[in-house]
A and B are shown apart, each in its own frame.
Chain A
């Protein structure tokens, strides 16, 4: 009798293993997979470089989605704040006014913390506004999208800096950087509206869109003004 039972169990296991039926999740298989040390869902054992690379890859994929804004779900569902933090730190570093010139002259640029405040508090205010208007999107989802959509403006900032380094100041240079930062602004607004546009009731869409517009416009102004000398 005991041998029969053993046989039966041995017969059940292979069918669980091969077939598409995933009842194996619930019973002894879970324990067995831990015993086997399968690293599939266990992030404790993996080297730290793998962890960082996986997160960076996720951030990179979201950057790609911002630059080609077509598919919404990746940014909306798997939100994170790493990308916004990277972008915000980068922009704050680039935009901050230099305090220690040779003649101890303070050029009027914002300080590092002020750029940080503008980006994070600005994104928070825009999000609070859309929540108060009755939009249904979670707070951090919206902050994540607003932060990721800074990418076009960061690219515009890099482009403007390169132009300033390469050419001497002139009216032509001014208009070129004006065009670059304005296209960055339009791009950022378009991308964020694509992601956030559906979250508002019908009669209030423009009320929620306007603050987003203003948010990116102010940052685009910072980008432009820091490159005009």
Chain B
């Protein structure tokens, strides 16, 4: 009675044990796989599916033959398919213009990107907002009024001005060219116009930092420099594409361009007129105790 029961036990246990062992192997292999999947994309991006997509998108943009669906990441990834070196080169060329070089033909034509325009615009919005506030602060301290308040909503107005200029205007210009030109092909694409307008604004980023210096002639000199450099890049790129007869259009574009440069200066960095400051100084000098008192209580 004892011996058969033992054999019976072994008989029952051994298949069970085997199946459990198999099950354990199986269950152990699953976490390994999942951890590999979770780690691989983070640690080596080369093996990832999107890493493999990059050459494909490059092919598509160069051929521009196979349009992708609008609602996919890949559709937008082709506009962001740039490397650091390319972006640095484009920004450098837009800040330091060379003589007799068509910026569009030289740098943009083979592959317009949207990374540069997007981040140049966002950077410019915040650099103008921040340095506009610093300029305001310096003015306040120069008149010995410590009652300074920062104005956050400069961000909003700077953003709307810059978006109108760098995003709406190129699209409007492209649409105008398309419907007015009566040509089969528009000489410049909307993407190229967006790209040129975006990159042409990059000179204003260092200039907006320099606008903090409260010297009137220097500020206007910087306005002139910025408008000249970015206007040169815009006009050398766009003018050949517009053809001969479009001088009115060029004049409109130039006016808008100068308006933007001067508008930055007037609206965000305006130094008060010289005849205002003596008044403040006089009142402070006339009633120093009262003004000091009000300053402290505020």
Contacts and interface: CB of A to CB of B under 8 A. Distances in A.
Nearest to A125: B122
B41 A26 contact: no
Interface stretch (B11-19, B233-241, B259-267): B11-19
A135 B115 CA distance: 14
A201 B80 CA distance: 13
B124 to A, nearest CB: 11
A105 B35 CA distance: 57
The binding surface of chain B is classed by DSSP as helix
Nearest to B57: A134
Interface residues of B, number: 54
Contacts of A86: none
Contacts of A15: 13
Contacts of A129: 80, 115, 118-119
Q: In the complex, which of the residues A107, A110, A125, A207 has the most CB atoms of chain B within 10 Å of its own CB atom?
A: A207
Nearest to B76: A132
Interface in B28-52: 38, 41-43, 45-46, 48-51
A11 B146 contact: no
A214 interface: yes
A132 B77 contact: yes
B82 A169 contact: no
Nearest to B43: A198
A229 B296 CA distance: 11
B147 interface: yes
Nearest to A115: B152
A218 B122 CA distance: 11
Interface in A43-73: none
B150 A108 contact: yes
A7 interface: yes
Contact of A169 (B17, B41, B81, B146): B146
A141 B79 CA distance: 24
A226 interface: yes
Contacts of A198: 42-43, 45
A154 B173 CA distance: 45
Interface in A106-128: 107-110, 114, 125
Contact of A136 (B27, B50, B119): B50
A22 interface: yes
Contacts of A22: 24, 27
Contact of A134 (B42, B50, B123, B152): B50
21 contacts: A4-B8, A7-B9, A8-B5, A8-B8, A8-B12, A21-B20, A21-B21, A108-B149, A108-B151, A108-B153, A110-B153, A129-B115, A132-B80, A133-B115, A134-B54, A136-B51, A199-B42, A201-B54, A210-B119, A214-B126, A221-B130
List the 4 closest pairs (A to B, CB-CB), nearest first. A23-B20, A203-B83, A108-B151, A136-B41
Given A23-B16, A201-B54, 7 more contacts: A7-B9, A135-B50, A136-B41, A207-B83, A214-B122, A221-B126, A228-B148
